[in-house]
Amino acid sequence: MSKHDDDIEYEVLLGLEPEDGQEDGVLTEEQVAAINKISNLGFQVKAQIGKSIRFADRRGIAGPLPRREGDIRIRDLSKVASTLDNYLDHEEFRGIISRDGTTAEFLIGHSNALVPAGRIFEQFHWEYPKPECGHSFAPWHIKTPTSEYATGFHLQAPSGDACVEISGISPVAAFLAQEVGLFRADDYSEYTLKVILNTSRNSDSNVTTVQQIANDLLFELDAKYNLALSLILRKRPVRSLFPRPPKGQQSINFPATHVPREVAALFSFAAEAGENPPFAFLSYYQVLEYYMPVVSRRDALKRLRREIRDFSFDVSDDASVLRVLHTAERVKGISEEDALKILVRDCVREDKLTEFFESEVAAEHFSRRGPIQGVPAINLKSTSESVQVQTAKRIYALRNRIVHAKDDPRYVETPQLLPRSAEANLLGPDVLLARLLALETIIDTQD
């Protein structure tokens, strides 16, 4: 620890308020030792905040900015210090997981963002079989003017190889996973979902099993009790990818674009679904679906008229008439992917696509090194496929990843893209691409 760090820690220790059992704000030797141990694990002491000490997470950070900051109540210092090194940040969700993957603790959210999940959860009084696993479990007690009951639960699998519970947040999870600076009422308790494996395999298998148990519990809470809780993503979707309204004086005229009600509703919903990128993408895709029959019919009529206007066409010649018939049959049996290719080819300007893909954000995202798996990359230098065809193939492949089940044999090599997943959070540029296609199509189909 540097001299500067030592000075900060010294100032913090001098300024502490007394906790229960402490006199004159002096830390016990055990608490001082706990602070030193936490500091040695890569957490820099910053300041005292009320009855907590704030640390800056500098694990693996060489620059001036820490990864994040976290608070530890003074009374919990020893408890956190003794368990902190056993846990890692969960890669996908806000929470922690043990180094061997056998224990995890997840923060949970509720669909009603105005009410904390804990407030919703503690309205329930749960009855459950008494487990025989031996794990320590102390539920919170809720007092109302008319009753008092314990909330939370600890459940053991019938096989005995796993347990799952929802209960008050542990001190180490509060330190590593909670956001600092958020206002919380004095009587509010944070609840977390905890999974404990009583048997262990390898680390990867443990992580998968823990996640499966958490998913199963949340599903049953929703399906049986209409309690729609969910895990909270570590990284939320970047809403700033959506174009921001212009500032300052703007010129505006009476609307000249005529948009069907269905299209207007789908287009506006995409922006509302900004925190769920797969939904936003599908909304823009549905706009394209709305226009596919229109554009395909327009293309079919163009092809048929070309055959009829051909100088070699002879209405008395069977071969000429059959060419027209074959053209009509090909148009009638067109697939959705081919219809999308026609739409992008006929409605979307190539220079607009090129300009989009050459932007700094898009260049990396749509390359072979991009973060979205199972979809074609975009290569502006390709001589075998136009940029319109490449775009249509990517959009259609991404649509399939979102809407098709994983066990569909046609898509067995491409996993389903799930909402509230790390990959879904990275869909921003693809959502903007679908938006561009929708806008270009609307413009092209104006009468």
* pLDDT number for residue 14: 46
**One domain, residues 292 and 406:** yes
Q: What is d(CA 407, CA 418) in angstroms, rounded to the nearest whole number?
A: 14
Token digits of residue 238 = 């970047």
Q: Does 248 map to a domain?
A: no
- Name the β-bridge partners of 141: 150
The DSSP symbol for 84 reads G
- Name the β-bridge partners of 42: none
Answer with the one of 85, 117, 143 that is the final residue of a domain: 85
pLDDT tens sequence across 78-125: 999 999 999 999 988 999 999 999 999 999 988 666 677 878 888 888
Please choose, from the candidates 278, 306, 245, 257, the residue with its C-alpha nearest in 3D space to the C-alpha of residue 441: 257
- Name the β-bridge partners of 430: none
Q: Does 375 map to a domain?
A: yes
pLDDT category at 309 given cuts 50, 70, 90 is confident
Instruction: State the chain's mean pLDDT as an integer.
Output: 83
Domain holding 55, by residue range, is: 3-85
Answer with the one of 187, 216, 231 that is the final residue of a domain: 231
CB contact at 8 A, 92 and 424: no
Q: Count CA atoms closer than 13 A to 415's CA, side-chain side.
A: 8
Report percent pLDDT > 90 for the chain: 41
* pLDDT number for residue 349: 94
Cβ neighbours around 147 below 10 Å, total = 8
Please choose, from the candidates 328, 249, 342, the residue with its C-alpha nearest in 3D space to the C-alpha of residue 288: 342
**One domain, residues 382 and 409:** yes
**One domain, residues 129 and 203:** yes
Q: What is d(CA 110, CA 106) in angstroms, rounded to the nearest whole number?
A: 13
* pLDDT number for residue 4: 44
Answer with the one of 67, 85, 103 that is the final residue of a domain: 85
State yes or no: pLDDT of 75 exceeds 60.
Answer: yes
**One domain, residues 118 and 81:** no
**One domain, residues 211 and 334:** no
